[in-house]
Amino acid sequence: MATRRAQNIAEAKLKRLLEYNSRLREQLDVQRITVSEASNGLISFCKSTKDPMLPSVWGPIDKKDDPFAPTNGGGCCAVM
């Protein structure tokens, strides 16, 4: 009985180790880039993408292009 229990524990440990090894192999396959590449990509994105929340940098934008501008709709709801 004790040997069977020890065998079950050993099998459970082996299963956990194999799963852990599998997760480590998946992480190893993840594509990585250097910090300088990521920084350059972020800088170029920020320079090429207008942000309506920064009018001091990009200047005023048209109301039609501003996703944060209030809509001039007649309104469909009223809060009482």
The per-residue pLDDT for range 2-60, each reduced to its tens digit, is 788 889 999 999 999 999 999 999 999 999 999 999 999 999 998 888 777 777 777 77
Instruction: Tell the residue number behind the tokens 């079950």, with chain if given.
Output: 8
- Position 37 scores a pLDDT of 96
- Position 76 scores a pLDDT of 64
Buried b (16+ CB within 10 A) or exposed e, 44-75: eeeeeeeeeeeeeeeeeeeeeeeeeeeeeeee
Non-local CB neighbours of 17 within 8 Å, separated by 6+ positions: none
Q: Which of 48, 49, 54, 52 is nearest to 67 (CA)?
A: 52
Say whether pTM exceeds 0.85.
Answer: no
Chain CA centroid to CA 10, Å? 38
- Position 11 scores a pLDDT of 94
